[in-house]
Amino acid sequence: MNLKHLSKEAEMTGQQVPYLLRAARGEALDRPPVWMMRQAGRYMKAYRDLRDRYPSFRERSEIPDVAIEISLQPWKAFQPDGVILFSDIVTPLPGMGVEMDIAEGKGPIIDSPIRTQAQVDQLRPLEPEESLPFIKQILTALRQEVGNQSTVLGFVGAPWTLAAYMVEGKGSKTYSVIKNMAFSDPTILHQLLGKLADSIATYIRYQIDCGAQVVQMFDSWAGQLSPQDYDTFALPYQQQVFKQVKATHPDTPLILLVSGSAGVLERMGKSGADIVSVDWSVDMADARARLGKDVKVQGNIDPGVLFGSKAFIRDRILDTIRKAGNRGHILNLGHGILPLTPEENAAFFFETAKQVDKLLATSTY
């Protein structure tokens, strides 16, 4: 369902457009909408208890009833303005012919890393209705559960980051295997990135058609590229994805996240994303100035702040919101909430964010 359709539907039924969608469309608001990346996860006791019953991440994310329950745990506990699909960025890879598993505490493991032209040639276009039928069940249920009280977010991995997993075979600290390919045999890598961009665009469109109202693309490893290499191996394929999605779903807001993005922030603004997720390596006031007034922002509180005192957490929230302004800002962490974060501090984060209109004088917001 696109944003204009939702707005008209809400007007006809007298229901309010979800707060996060209002921010995504650039409305001036009394407070920014708030959600957290990885808000359904290990810091919550409810999640850990369920994980004991379903020890495999793929079980937890691909069995619809389990994934729905996990996705809704933070919604039921904290009432965030965004409820995000519980999944992983590598979830669509088997549908392209790349077998993988997600090891607890280690992340994705690719059985046969992509290293040759023949392997790239064997990749098939993603057909999500066939290979990812659980996604529709999960997103449909989330929309039904939260209604217009919150916004349902989908998410995907970006071409460069998925390619890095596929070529490295697992997480990496040096990215030496994919950089060897990029800097010695880029033809194979560009073909891989192009195929990934097409399939990711298909996957985003599918998530939207299944109920996602906003979709975030994670290019988690693109910050490991130099700016000139980002321009070659990351940005063009981000643009390819967003251009294809906007051609069919022009009114659905799209968010781009790059970890360690201080050096490529302006480039992120050229990706075609509606909203740039800013990490804590950049001051929010600087991010606003560098991106320009037409680019909306998300973030950018250091997840480590949630280990601080309540007074410190409150001050950082207020500082970030002042710097971001009252238009086109979604309050979030700069990346995912950390596993050992005290659950009561997460609750305080949401409670404080929702009281910002009372905590800040209108003249200072």
| Residues known to be catalytic | 38, 42, 51, 88, 165
Pairing outcome for strands 214-218 and 151-157: parallel
Written as one letter, the residue type at 271 is: S
Query: Which strands make up the sheet holding 275-278, listed edge to edge?
Result: 82-84, 151-157, 214-218, 254-257, 275-278, 296-301, 329-333
Bridge partners, residue 300, by sequence: 332
Please, which residues have CB within 8 angstroms of residue 251's CB and are 6 or more apart in sequence? 2, 3, 4, 5
**What is the rounded CA–CA span in Å between residue 294 and residue 290?**
11
Judge whether 193 and 237 are in contact, CB under 8 Å.
yes
DSSP annotation of 103: E
Which residue, among 138, 141, 58, 65, has the nearest Cα to 93 in the 3D structure? 58
Judge whether 225 and 193 are in contact, CB under 8 Å.
no
**What is the rounded CA–CA span in Å between residue 198 and residue 176?**
25
Q: Which two tokens stand for residue 314?
A: 């409150």
Q: Which two tokens stand for residue 123?
A: 């990749």
Within the chain, how many helices (H) and strands (E) appear?
18, 9
Peptide bond preceding 2 in cis form (omega within 30 of 0) = no
CA 345 from centroid of its chain's CA atoms: 22
**What is the rounded CA–CA span in Å between residue 5 and residue 13?**
12
Judge whether 297 and 276 are in contact, CB under 8 Å.
yes
